[in-house]
Structure 1
Amino acid sequence: MPDLPRIITVEDGVARIVWSADLPSRWQQEIAGVRSLVEEALRAHHRVEAKVDVEDADGQRLATWSGLRREGVERGRTGDRVVYARLADDPPLDQPGGFRALLNSFLPRKRAIGQMLIRDADATEPRVLLCQLTYKSDWDLPGGVVEVNESPRLAVTREIEEELGLTVPAGPLLLTDWLPPWGGWDDAVGLVFDGGVLPGSTLDRAVLEPREIRAVAFCTAAEVEARAADFTARRVAAALAALDGGPRYTESGR
């Protein structure tokens, strides 16, 4: 492959920018040239793309700062490649909307999980509401993943309505708990909101979503330890401590 980057047409209306293996090491010097190729390709194509090995950090920088948005990872037998592309009708990079869209395509995005700490108003010792989930063996606080562009506070209330049939408005944020990568999951941020205290009889009117929830129960500290994963038990303990002025930020409950 020649040293200089070049354009090839891969299908009708779609061009691809390709370069030699050593070019990305000079990515800062090559940005202007590759950007010019992108503009040239878009005069005759509706899409121009580049595919860069996932281990090629310099190649990814070259693709990004040449104006190509990161779209995702293409998995394959010979290795995974990051796909970058620009469409003919994308806003120009010299406009705020175009530049923001470029940044938004590659800046990190963390998964957010909204959960709620609900206590039993009738218990003589602290008991918190836990859910037995259908897709894992351990129990967890009620809540779930925050959808794209959704408020975490609204998300946890929505999840409880969908999965338990209960309307429990989220109170103040008690705890922010960072969750490191684990078991195939990327890292995430857990946000535990105060759900206040509810009568134990509240669970009598809960309507469980059968695809998600097997059972619900108010659990003592000992029951939390027995039923929940260790990091969940630590998070519950940290959230309870936060009610009394304890730390409001933890990492895996610590």
Structure 2
Amino acid sequence: MADSRDSITVTTVADGVARIRWEGAPTTDALRHEVAAALTEHSRVEALVAIDDAAGQRAATWAGLHREGVRRSVDDDGEQSDHVVYARLVTDAPVQEPGGFRALLNSFLPRKRAIAQMLVRDTEGRVLLCRLTYKRDWDLPGGVVEVGESPRVAVQREVEEELGLQIEPRGLVLTDWLPPWGGWDDAVCLVFDGGTHPTSVLAGVVMQEREIRDVRFCTLEEVDELAADFTARRVRAAVGGTEAYTESGR
């Protein structure tokens, strides 16, 4: 029986960088052996696996290569030919160690985009909405949660950056899942209670010109008119307080 390593090739593609390729289904031990051998002379070993090659992606993972992302490209015939980039660095912790195994898992397990928004109302029960510069629809104040940032910290930061208001977020009033839409991946929107404030709070607003065109308190009927339908549903669900979880406001 031929050694499964016969189907594996390792080529130096840049200073300190090796690229590993294989045909068929080499054993995990064979791939790991070749990766380890390449790292004795290189600081990085990488593999490019076709995005629709599930077996190849499993093989790369079992060999201890971390998923780094997708390299988009077009072949000579003008067809899109995307590949998943996998790599292992000489400084990566061994997969046999708990930290190394967790880092490997962390590289390919799903990640969910998180958005944190704040529900701020005035004494008449109207809802604070912002008119954004990059879309026509109005929305609740807030924004994307940064990597390693807590959603509570994120929404307080966003409200201060966008509106110049320092409002301490209270409890979570709604978790709303947003399906993929218009080029966006799916996301989870967390709506925090920003409390009730006098209308005069608007006098202290300092709008971030790059993102905010206007801000005002709106009735629910005005929310329906000014906001996207899924945003209006989310606002009504948050105001109603009867649902802790919705999907696109439903």
Band the TM-score falls in, shorter-chain normalisation:
over 0.9
CA distance in 2, matches of 1:158, 1:228: 23
For each residue in 1:47-91, what CA deviation from the matched residue of structure 2 results, as whole angstroms up to 9, or x when unmatched? 100001111111111111110001111111121111000011111
Q: Does 1:151 align with 2:147?
A: no
TM-score, length basis structure 1:
0.93
Per-residue CA shift, 1:182-204, capped at 9, x if unaligned? 00000000000000101101011
Q: Which residue of 1 aligns with 2:45?
A: 48
Give the secondary structure class of the aligned counterpart of 2:7: coil
Q: 1:95 Cα shift?
A: 1.1
Q: Does 1:103 align with 2:124?
A: no
Which residue in the other structure is 1:203 paired with?
Answer: 202
Aligned residue in 2 for 1:4: 7
For 1:14, give the aligned amino acid.
V
User: What CA distance in whole angstroms lies between the structure 1 residues aligned with 2:188 and 2:6?
Assistant: 44
User: Using the alignment, how far apart are the partners of 1:96 and 1:173 within structure 2?
Assistant: 34
Equivalence for 2:222: 223
Mapped pair 1:248 → 2:244: yes
- State the distance in 2 between where 1:170 and 1:57 align: 43
Name the structure 2 match of 1:234.
233
Per-residue CA distance 1:13-66 (angstroms, 9 max, x = gap): 11111012xx2xx4xx62111111100110111110000111111111111111
**Identity across the alignment (%):** 64
The 5-angstrom pairing of residues 18-29 of structure 1 reads 18-20=21-23, 23=24, 26=25
Task: Give the AA of the match of 1:96.
Answer: P
RMSD of aligned residue pairs (Cα, Å)? 1.2
**Residue aligned with 1:183, SS:** coil
Give the 3-state SS of the residue equivalent to 2:188 in structure 1: strand
User: What is the rounded CA distance, in whole Å, between the counterparts of 2:72 and 2:200 in structure 1?
Assistant: 50
Q: Equivalents in 2 of 1:149, 1:193: separation in Å?
A: 19
Counterpart-to-counterpart distance in 1, 2:217 and 2:194 = 13
Deviates more, 1:185-194 or 1:69-78: 69-78
Displacement of 1:10 after TM fit? 1.1
Question: What pairs with 1:78-89 in structure 2 (closer than 5 Å)?
Answer: 78=75, 79-89=81-91
Taking the aligned partners of 2:84 and 2:177, their CA distance within structure 1 comes to 27
Shift of 1:12: 2.0
User: Pick from 50, 62, 70: which aligns with 2:67?
Assistant: 70
After superposition, give the CA deviation of every residue in 1:113-137 in whole Å (9 maximum; x if it has no partner). Answer: 000101111x2xx310000000000
| Equivalent residue number for residue 93 of structure 1 | 95
Distance (Å, rounded) in 2 between the aligned partners of 1:252 and 1:238: 10
Which of 34, 37, 56 aligns to 1:59? It is 56
Query: What is the distance in 1 between the residues matched to 2:115 and 2:142?
Result: 7
2-structure distance, mates of 1:3, 1:119: 68
Match of 2:27 among 26, 30, 42: 30
Residues of 1 paired with 2:145 and 2:206: CA distance?
A: 21
| TM-score w.r.t. length of structure 2 | 0.94
Residue identity opposite 2:237 in structure 1: A
| Match in the other structure for 1:13 | 16
